[in-house]
Structure 1
Amino acid sequence: MKKLPICLALILSALLAGCQRPEEAVPPSSLLPKEKMIQLLVEVHLNESRVEGSRMRADSAQALFNQLQKDMFWRHEVSDSAFWQSYRYYAVHEKDLDEMYGIVLDSLAMRKVKMQAMPKQ
C-alpha cells in the first residue's frame, strides 16, 4: 500500500484547516495535548510502514491499516474524531504542527537507528 492516501489526507486536512486564521481557531473540547498527539503520530507512521511492508493487496492492506488504527485509538483511549479534530486544530497553528512533526521525525529516526543496531536473527 502506498503512503499516498494517508499522507494526502493529512496534507488536505492541513490545507483545509489553513483557510481559517490561527487566531480565529477555537480549540476543540476534546483537544489532545501535544505529547499525546506526538505519540499517536509516531504510531500512525509506524502503522503505515508495517502495512506497506506487508506487501498485501490494496484492499487487504487498507483493512489492516484501519484495524491497526482502531487498535491504536483503543489502547490510547482516544476517539478517532478527537484525533482528527486535534490534528486540524494543530494544522491551523502551523508552528505547533511543525514542532510536533520535528519530534515525530526524531522519534522515528531514533527507532530506525535502534533497529539497525540490533543483531540480525
Structure 2
Amino acid sequence: MPKYITLFFSVLLIIAGCSNDGPPPGVLPKENMINLLMDIHLVDGQLYAIPQQQDSIYKYGTARYQAVFKQYHTNDANFKKSLNYYAKQPEVIQAMYDAIQVKVKFKIDSLTKVGNKQLKKQNAISQ
C-alpha cells in the first residue's frame, strides 16, 4: 500500500510540474515576441537594403537594434533566450511568423493606400 501512495504522489508531482501555462521566466510573452521579431526584421531590411561597408552596418545597426530592444523593455540576452525557447517549438514559431507576415502585409497595404491617395492629390493639383 505505501508503494501505491508513493507512486500516486510521484505521478501527481510530475503532472503538476508539467502544466505550465506561459513561458518560463526571462522569456518574452508570445505577442511581445511577435512584435519584437517583426521590428528586428524591419531593422535587418533597412540595414541590408542599401549596400554598406561591414563596419558601417555594425556601427549603425547596433544602435537600431538596441532602440528596438529598449522599446520592448528587453535586451539581446532575453531576446536570444526567447528565440531559442520558441524555436524549440516548430508549430509555435511557425504560427508566430505567420502572424508577422499578416502584420507586415497590413502595413504594406496601408502604406500603399496612403501613397495612392497622395498621388491622386498631386495629379489633381497638377491638372
Asked if TM exceeds 0.5, the reply is yes
State the Cα distance separating 1:55 from its structure 2 match.
3.3
Report if aligned partners of 1:31, 1:82 keep a CA contact under 8 Å in 2.
yes
Larger radius of gyration: 2
Note the alpha carbon deviations across 1:78-110, whole angstroms, 9 max, x for none: 021111101101000111101101001111111
* Residue aligning to 1:48: 44
What is the number of residues matched between the two proteins?
Answer: 96
Deviates more, 1:87-96 or 1:54-63: 54-63
Where 1:87 maps in the other structure, the secondary structure is helix
Amino acid at match of 1:43: D
4+ aligned runs moved over 4 Å, structure 1: none
- Which residue in the other structure is 1:109 paired with? 105
Residue number in structure 1 paired with 2:87: 91
Residue pair 1:44, 1:69 contacting (<8 A) in 2 also: yes
2:34 aligned residue: 38
- Matched residue, 1:6: none
Percent of aligned pairs sharing the same letter: 24
Instruction: Give the Cα–Cα distance (whole angstroms) in 1 for the partners of residues 104 and 60 of structure 2.
Output: 21
Q: Shift in Å at residue 49 of structure 1?
A: 1.6
Say whether 1:67 aligns with 2:67: no
> Aligned partners of 1:49, 1:91: CA distance in 2, in Å?
21
- Under a length normalisation based on structure 2, what TM-score does the superposition of the two structures give? 0.67
Cα gap change, 1:67/1:105 in structure 2, threshold over 3 Å: closer, same or farther?
same
- Structure 2: state its 5+ residue gaps: 1-17, 120-127
The two structures, once aligned, show a CA RMSD in angstroms of 1.9
Q: Which has the bigger relative contact order, CA under 8 A and spacing at least 6?
A: 1
